[in-house]
Structure 1
């Protein structure tokens, strides 16, 4: 009797193991804040698994720019099937790795620009901005910020897409005079963090007067906390746009599921989750529109954005200028 029970248990275990092995897994490499319980990851995972008969696993890898560094290190050894969290400042460098395949997805996007990239597909966007407290004197330009006594936190451009975005924002506005601007701004910067989450946390804790973030960041406080005390400062010299993207890794073992995920990514099922979890504009506005509160956000009069190729061409120069100024 004991032997029969044992054999039955073993047989059951084998069946369960085979059943588990037959469920394909899709691995999506992304930034850490996407995977948190308050980020989009959990809701997107649940919604996609209802449709895919698969196991969707999000793997966090620091902030957005750290994704590219990890891919460049892993190369063909990467276990990722999808990379989600690069932006257009990084796509030219990502394309040079040769690791990505065409996405083949046609979608009705609502971005404020045309989209023709055949390897990278957008899922959200916003504008970089400095976020401060309501009632404080707000600078109206980058130079006014540098000339003030306002203490700020920014992110490292080598690991963070907002940090890199600020570099290109400054380069777009100042050109060859960017080094002087960084010298002017250096005494405003109390620290440089690896990623966005650490920087925003310092601001919320009162360690800084303002933080490099997004024009959409105040929506979180307004909608989730019923708090209108956080505001994005509107600058006369424009705001740099960020478009976040995902791409399919060419060596994926589950190409059909990867394609299914990318198609889902630009559907209402995914896009409706983005505004109140990632606190960005969706790349394809859902049929129900944006949540109440998004209509109160700052909309820049001047939008700045370099092409992926131009961003790649000036990245090293802009980074060297930044490092030199902050090392003084």
Structure 2
């Protein structure tokens, strides 16, 4: 009986070993992508991009979603070389110089031929995947006479209440800091002091601010010139409109990058190349509601053609943005958040 039990046990161990070997062989590599939460939401581009990329990579895409783009840099700084990320997606040019300085970013190796942006792009570390203009979006049913300039919003005594995002955690919030810094220069602190009485709430990220806006908490919110396209396409309403100001609107180019030391370097490179492919770019306009970085022809919804375009585009270089970022955020903190 003992010999029989031993023989059976040996067979069972052998079967278990073989089974575990098969399971191990069938395991797919997991590509971990740090991004912001609206990107991975059910209405964001994440689900469609994940499905399309997994169909060709024999891998699993695992999203790690944070509040907003600026929080990504803070997370990478905190984790350092111990980060689990293979790719970071959702930074913009206001953060790229500081992100590169961490030493965590590796050259992307992607073919950028065929990209179409308002600016020339030759960065070897960051891959652009969409772009747009920051703007104040207003509810035309609640606000009949919106401010017609940045100066009117800042200085006007009757200017409406607005919702904005925190520049320490949100790329739109940081974009507004850069916007006012570019327009007002050394007097940006005074501009923030003028804007402070109009600020109803400062949120950590775009999703929270825009949600409060659509719930009717305030008639204006810091968002994008492209945001009304969502309401036109999905809700069939032109109630929400974006303002372009004569002082100019600040541009945003969102980027992705791969992490140095990632165990899935080739997979990360493939993902970045996929991100700027025609297949992926067709997903961007009606999920992230931003402009694609390549010409997608008829796949760009006609609603985008009717969106307002600023006559003046503002954008600091990555180096200038890094040079001013801390001082301008400090000015924001001293003027607004206290």
TM-score range (shorter-chain normalised) is over 0.9
Aligned to 1:221: 231
Instruction: Write the distance in 2 (CA, Å) between the matches of 1:253 and 1:287.
Output: 37
1:143 aligns with 2:151: yes
Aligned to 2:111: 106
- Provide the TM-score with structure 1 as the length reference: 0.95
Larger CA deviation: 276-285 vs 4-13: 4-13
Aligned to 1:126: 132
1:30 to 35, 46, 53: 35
Aligned to 1:52: 57
1:117 aligns with 2:127: no
Secondary structure at the aligned position of 2:300 is classed as coil
Give the C-alpha shift of residue 8 in structure 1: 9.4
Larger CA deviation: 197-206 vs 139-148: 139-148
1:254 to 253, 264, 286: 264
Aligned to 2:3: none
Instruction: Write the distance in 2 (CA, Å) between the matches of 1:205 and 1:76.
Output: 41
1:231-288 deviation line (CA, Å, top 9, x unaligned) = 0012111000000000011111111111111111110111000000000001112243
2:20 to 14, 35, 38: 14
Instruction: Write the distance in 1 (CA, Å) between the matches of 2:96 and 2:186.
Output: 24
Secondary structure at the aligned position of 1:106 is classed as coil
Give the C-alpha shift of residue 58 in structure 1: 1.3
Name the CA shift for 1:16/1:144 in 2 (closer, same or farther; >3 Å): farther
Give the C-alpha shift of residue 57 in structure 1: 1.2
2:305 to 283, 292, 295: 295
Instruction: Write the distance in 1 (CA, Å) between the matches of 2:12 and 2:201.
Output: 61
Give the length in aligned residue pairs: 327
1:304 aligns with 2:314: yes
Are the aligned partners of 2:282 and 2:296 in contact in 1 as well (CA < 8 Å)? Answer: yes
Name the CA shift for 1:244/1:15 in 2 (closer, same or farther; >3 Å): same
Secondary structure at the aligned position of 1:288 is classed as helix
1:1-37 deviation line (CA, Å, top 9, x unaligned) = xx6997798467525521343x111111111111111
Are the aligned partners of 1:268 and 1:287 in contact in 2 as well (CA < 8 Å)? Answer: no
Secondary structure at the aligned position of 1:220 is classed as helix
Larger CA deviation: 79-88 vs 287-296: 287-296
- Provide the TM-score with structure 2 as the length reference: 0.92
Are the aligned partners of 1:89 and 1:306 in contact in 2 as well (CA < 8 Å)? Answer: yes
Instruction: Write the distance in 2 (CA, Å) between the matches of 1:175 and 1:269.
Output: 41
Are the aligned partners of 1:156 and 1:163 in contact in 2 as well (CA < 8 Å)? Answer: yes
Instruction: Write the distance in 2 (CA, Å) between the matches of 1:221 and 1:306.
Output: 30
Instruction: Write the distance in 2 (CA, Å) between the matches of 1:285 and 1:16.
Output: 45
Aligned to 1:184: 194
CA RMSD across the alignment:
1.9
1:218-239 deviation line (CA, Å, top 9, x unaligned) = 0000001111100001211100
Are the aligned partners of 1:83 and 1:248 in contact in 2 as well (CA < 8 Å)? Answer: yes
Larger CA deviation: 12-21 vs 110-119: 12-21
Aligned to 1:92: 97
1:238 to 248, 259, 265: 248
1:100-153 deviation line (CA, Å, top 9, x unaligned) = 111121221111010011100100000000000125212111121121330000
1:268 aligns with 2:278: yes
Are the aligned partners of 1:123 and 1:244 in contact in 2 as well (CA < 8 Å)? Answer: yes
Q: Identify unmatched segments of 5+ residues in structure 2.
A: 1-7
Name the CA shift for 1:177/1:244 in 2 (closer, same or farther; >3 Å): same
Instruction: Write the distance in 1 (CA, Å) between the matches of 2:175 and 2:73.
Output: 15
Instruction: Write the distance in 1 (CA, Å) between the matches of 2:78 and 2:337.
Output: 27
